[in-house]
Structure 1
Amino acid sequence: MDRESNTLTAPRPDHRTGWPAEGPLPFAATAVEVAGDPEDGPHLLYRAARRLCEAAGPDAVLTHAGGELTARLEPGLHAAMYVSTEMRRDGAGSPLLRLNLRLSGHGRTPSPASLEHWAEIWHRQALSAHEVVRVAGELPLMSAAVERLRPGRPLEGFAVLVTGHFLTDLVHLVGCLAELGAPLDAMTVLRKDYAYQWRHRVHGHLLEQGVRVVDAGDPAAVHEHTERARRRGLRCLALDDGGYVAPALLDRARAGEGAPAGAGRWAGVVEQTMSGIYKLQGREAELPFPVFSVAQSRLKGRIESYWIAEKAVTTALDLLPAVKIEGQPALVVGYGNVGAHIAALLTQRRMRVAVHDADILQLIDAHESGYVTDRDLPALLERHQPLLVFGVTGRTSMSTREFRSLARPAYLASVSSRDIEFDLPALEALADGDPVIRPCSRTHVLPGGVDVTVLAGGRPVNFHETDSISNLHSDLVYAGMLTGACAVATRPAPPGLDRSWADAVLEESGLLQDYYDRYGPRAACRPTAPRPWAGPRGFPLRAAPPRTPPRRRPGRDERRRPADAPPYGKRHPCGRVAVRTAGIGSPYSSLTRGRSAAVVVPSAPVVIVVVPAVAVAVPVVVPAAAVAAVGDRVGGRCRGGRARRAERGAAGQEDSDRGGREEPLHSQCLHGFRTLLVLRRCRRGAVSSSFRQQHGISAFTR
């Protein structure tokens, strides 16, 4: 479900055609994989075929023959379309439908650009219901924020403009904006053109929802959105990523081409990147609306920065050729929130790290953290001679003077939005000859024979053909942006850029408390899904249904119970009582250390009894028919062992002698094979050999 096939060219050696041997292959094929029910396959295929025909024009006629849909897309280019279902041996997850497209030329050779064009349209397949539900499940903070903000529909009457990376979390963000009242048909999304795996499918999903999609580099996009909102009598609000909106509005106002006023005036902008904040520096007084700076908030700086740094370092090292990095010099330009984490991660990989920052306070911080530093970047490049350079400033950090200071082959990795970190035109002008272009890099040869390789073409390495960070990580910042958008729409704020406003709104919204409750220390004891047990037959363990705990009289041995153990009768979140067996972990594992345990598997014909042998838990399979007898008879001798304990267990009586140190299994109750029980201090003599033979219980292993 998480894969999207790229355009492929498939040869057929046994098939002869009239095409020249050195030309294209007989046909080009591509497929898009969708998680959905098999009965939805024909409908999805027809919709995808209609999308191709609509792009081809009125001359494209869709026909059905031999289980395939066929159409002529352009002169000499025919398309055959069919759907298949992936056979999964494990049976896990939703069925995977593969929508296949085969393009073949008749009479002329189709160009690669034409094949790519039709493949991109084919891949604009909207997300299925299964996929939308899965994505929403990965973004719980956004969903919870919508529930808190939904009353009053705060975004009703606003035409929202979103600048976003075309990842699956953008689909849920747009859905949350609609839940908060923003009309989808008045919404515009500015597309940041990075090579993400799901970019075409996200594009198709937004189009199907009625959202207008425009390239982020279109200079007229913001003005057109403003005019559309004005015609409908709506106010404008933006969730920006990279400073595409507010600077464009200020530039138009400065040029005398109009100001954001009237019915379509702008209520404000929510900005989540430092690159966008830098574009407003020195222009704060010109802003006619408030800017909600998630980028400068403590929420983003203290929590998200590590995720970005870890992704950037991992991707950059993957893009390097086979070189040994341990002991090699590295340079981080920009010691902000992300840059500091990158420097620490490179140090953990045993590289010798130097740091440069234009801010003297940041430079002092880096120096006192043990990094090599210098106020002059060219001097630092000459002295340190880095193999790997990370640019994390959010503006242009290296140009001609810095490139001339490189004395050894170096690799440049940008972690800023777009391709502004390194002055690529200056690098090309300085280089000798044309660059050597590879799929993941571009190498320039400087005077003196120094090779400078720009990774990912100068664009952010953390965005290179992969998700920047996972949905579970982007969830927090997007939830903060939703909170900021509702604050801009409903709370009066003075025009300008006030970073303290964003901190105050975010910290009083309940978002950070929600994050801590979900991922803090209590979350470790709260499973999100049943965990499989690696025992016989691999039956999954499930939490027991709530019930009233049995009443019992405290015993003397309670004073000897571990301090971290729950009180008697309290249900552990992971089951009825904590248990320590192979494949099962518990913070209260000391409760069962050296003792016996029974695991009742729901809807299964067996009960699994686990008897520890020293430190190893040994599973024993018990037929279901013997469960009642096990409950009546097991309880056994303990610390001097009284044989009448079995009779007390059968009668369901409470254990009163010896201070109530033993609780019969029967008193815990099986509750329809859904209760997880612990038999404390049960020894081999608790179940006689005749009882095991009578009920078919396998021998207990000691």
Structure 2
Amino acid sequence: MRMIPLARAESTELQGESADMPMVFAAITEAIGKVTDVSEATGDRLDRRLQVGAGGRVRLLAGAPVQPKAAAAGTLVVTMVLEETTGLLPGQVRDILAAVRRVPFTATEMTALRDQMPLTAELPLFTPPGCLAQVAPVLTVHHMRDFLVLVEAVQAMGVAPEAITVLDKGYPYRHTARVDAHLSRQGIAVWPWTRAADALDDHAQRATLLGRKGLLVDDGGYTLPVLLKHRPDLLPHFTTGLVEQTISGITRLEPWRQLPLPVFSVAQSRMKATVESYGVADAAIRNALRLLPEEKLEGQAALVIGHGRIGEQIAQVLRSRRMRVAVHDRQLVRLIAAHEQGFVTGRCLSTLLREHRPKLIVGSTGCTSVRGEHAAAIGGDCYLVSTTSRDREFAIAELAEEAVEVSDAGVLGIRLRLPSGAWATIVGDGYPVNFHHAESLPNAYSDLILASLLVGAATLATPGHGFTPGHNVAASDRVLESCGLLERYYSRFGPKST
């Protein structure tokens, strides 16, 4: 008896209209074409069949959700059904199904994003025409939807797609596959951050052919440290400078006392400290709670490790959610600040863990805070949540070494059964929780920060800007506070906003 292959299906949701579907189906077809041959396509804009490989058959459908009231207005569901797999290898089947998740953003979605981010989208109107026409930027920014508005603005300021390189930081953002697909479809080179040295080499060669100088726009120190440590021969190609968004990126430059190019520091600016910190803290806690829907945290103990810009706000957010909050910081001045704000404090982390018995432990130090030596002090079930770049807040290997059992908790993270019998769950595998299958900040928050990155780029690209090699914190503040961004932000969200 001939066995009939089981159908395989994958779906994705997007915002759009039927007029958007030809682009969507074409993008999916191109993605499948990178896996195997597509020999025939029949159907219409909402229902199409493809012949793939030697004997495979794919059906693409687009339509409204089964329960429209359970989805946002304008939602369309795009479904791929792999009706026949004859001649396809298992890996090809997997990659073909994944193509439906790699759909560029529709015209409808891009219009909505521009409306949500007017400061970034409209910045080219407030800068000299073609102000970036002499530079070739390397953009290492989180691959969320807001990033696409920044990339559009960069192009409007005078940069062709072939002069742009993007490094994908590899976090499991909610829309990372679609963002990468959108960039690639424009002809922009997208590299994984793990190949930063190769990407910078390739970029330098392309920039030279185009007669442009390289410019680094970074979120977390992914590029300049690589040049300084591994490819100093490429530094002459990037003398325009670096625009850095995060304190962790500034921290990664600390081993080099002298920097060979100017740094525009959005990271250390008063603007970023004033506007972003609460948004990041709130987003982190909201996403952590989304991952823990069955937990009741009101009245439970929480411990915040690190009382800097983000940590201070996290402690306040947790207290507003009726948790009993303790704070630890290695810097005494910060510990005193936390104490005088009414938090439980202590200079010894192990003692706080043992005596406060936190249900929720939030690390926001920017370095490694909880190590294997602290495992013995954890006496009750708890969740460890990070807001620090990459996965360095918790020494996962050391904690696993101390554990008597390690298991995979799926999307939640890694579970460790400690010698005390307590279960410690490292949420999101130790990566920053605000980016874990989420969009982190609402676009209204990120708008000001991404627009400020563009201001930094335009400044460094302008001859005679006055920035000197090394950090230029005061000069960055002067530019950001005089360029008009804050006025437009205040007009949008201030007392007379419309």
TM more than 0.5: yes
Work out the CA distance in 1 between the residues paired with 2:53 and 2:481: 57
Q: In structure 2, what is the Cα distance between the partners aligned to 1:451 and 1:96? A: 40
Q: Judge conservation of contact 1:141–1:514 (CA < 8 Å) in 2.
A: yes
The Cα of 1:325 is off from its aligned counterpart by 2.0
Match of 1:488 among 460, 470, 474: 460
Deviation (angstroms), 1:222: 2.4
CA distance in 2, matches of 1:98, 1:239: 35
Q: Does 1:129 align with 2:107?
A: yes
Equivalent in the alignment of 2:405: 433
* 1:156 is aligned to 2:129: no
Offset from partner CA, 1:628-649 (integer Å, 9 cap, x none): xxxxxxxxxxxxxxxxxxxxxx
1:427 maps to a residue whose letter is L
Q: Given the alignment of the two structures, is residue 213 of structure 1 paired with residue 205 of structure 2, yes or no?
A: no
Change (3 A) 1:390 1:156: same
What's 1:27 paired with?
7
Alignment correspondent of 1:201: 178
Counterpart residue number, 1:273: 246
Are the aligned partners of 1:36 and 1:94 in contact in 2 as well (CA < 8 Å)? no
**Cross-structure match for 1:183:** 160
> Partner of 1:340 in structure 2?
312
C-alpha distance 74-259 of structure 1, shift in aligned 2 (>3 A): same
In the alignment, what sits opposite 1:567? none
Equivalent residue for 1:327? 299
Q: Deviations over 1:419-469 (max 9, x none)?
A: 111111112222223324333122111223221111112111111211101
Q: Does residue 1:229 correspond to 2:207, yes or no?
A: yes
AA partner of residue 213 (structure 1)? V
Q: Which has the higher contact order (CA 8 A, sep 6+)?
A: 2
Say whether the 8 Å CA contact 1:184–1:210 is kept in structure 2: yes
- Could you tell me the percent identity over the aligned residues? 34
Residues in 2 aligned to 1:142 and 1:107: alpha-carbon distance in whole angstroms: 48
Q: 1:508 to 1:434 in 2, by over 3 A?
A: same
Question: Which runs of 5 or more residues in structure 2 are unaligned?
Answer: none
In structure 1, distance between residues paired with 2:68 and 2:414: 42
Letter in 2 for 1:371: F
Partner of residue 557, structure 1? none
Aligned-residue offset at 1:116: 3.8
More deviation, 373-382/185-194: 373-382
Q: Is the 8 A contact 1:302 1:337 kept in 2?
A: no
Letter in 1 for 2:246: T
- For residues 68 and 486 of structure 2, the distance between their equivalents in structure 1, rounded to whole angstroms, comes to 41
Distance in 1, matches of 2:419 and 2:350, equals: 16
| SS of corresponding position for 1:386 | coil
In the alignment, which residue of structure 1 is the partner of 2:98? 120
C-alpha separation between the residues in 1 aligned to 2:411 and 2:135? Answer: 42
More helix as a share of residues: 2
Pairwise CA distance, 1:231: 3.3
Query: Which amino acid counterpart does residue 499 of structure 1 have in structure 2?
Result: V
Q: 1 CA distance for matches of 2:407 and 2:479?
A: 49
Distance 2:29 2:365 in 1: 46
Alpha-carbon distance in 2 for matches of 1:321, 1:453: 15
> What does the per-residue CA deviation read over 1:165-217, in whole Å, with 9 as the maximum and x for residues that have no partner?
22111111000001111221110111122333322222121111111111122
* 2:362–2:385 contact (8 Å) kept in structure 1: yes
Contact 2:387 2:434 in 1 (8 A): yes
- Which residue among 451, 476, 500 is the counterpart of 2:474? 500
CA distance in 2, matches of 1:274, 1:388: 24
Change (3 A) 1:413 1:45: closer
1:453 — aligned with what?
425
1:240 aligns with 2:218: yes
Q: Distance in 2 between matches of 1:27 and 1:51?
A: 22
CA distance in 1, matches of 2:288, 2:68: 35
- For 2:438, what is the secondary structure of its paired residue? coil
Determine if the alignment matches structure 1 residue 38 to structure 2 residue 18.
Answer: yes
2:3 to 13, 18, 25: 18
In structure 2, what is the Cα distance between the partners aligned to 1:179 and 1:31? 33
Q: Tell me which residue corresponds to 2:57.
A: 78
Q: Provide Cα deviations, 1:401-421, integer angstroms capped at 9, x if missing partner.
A: 122321222210001122111
Q: Distance in 1 between matches of 2:157 and 2:277?
A: 28
TM-score using structure 2 length: 0.92
1:260 aligns with 2:253: no
1:47 corresponds to = 26
- Shift of residue 259, structure 1, vs aligned partner: 4.4
Does the CA contact (< 8 Å) of 2:16 and 2:107 recur in 1? yes
Over alpha carbons, which structure has the higher Rg? 1
Structure 1 residues 267 and 65: CA distance shift in structure 2, 3 A: closer
Distance 2:35 2:16 in 1: 27
Change (3 A) 1:40 1:333: closer
Task: Using the TM superposition, give the Cα deviation of residue 18 of structure 1 relative to its aligned residue in structure 2, in angstroms.
Answer: 2.3
Contact 1:53 1:62 in 2 (8 A): no
> Once the 2 structures are TM-superposed, how far is the Cα of residue 224 of structure 1 from its aligned partner?
2.5
Q: Residue 73 and residue 372 in structure 1: after superposition, are their counterparts in 2 closer, same or farther (change >3 A)?
A: same
- Conserved? CA contact 2:305–2:311, under 8 Å: yes
* Cα distance in 2, alignment partners of residues 205 and 102 from structure 1: 23
Name structure 1 gaps, 5 residues minimum: 1-15, 20-24, 527-702
Deviations 1:537-557 (A, max 9, x none): xxxxxxxxxxxxxxxxxxxxx
CA RMSD, 1 decimal: 2.6
Cα separation, partners in 2 of 1:163 and 1:105, compared to 1, 3 Å: same
Shift of 1:86: 5.9
2:135 pairs with 1:138: no
SS at match of 2:240: strand
1:522 matched to 2:496: yes
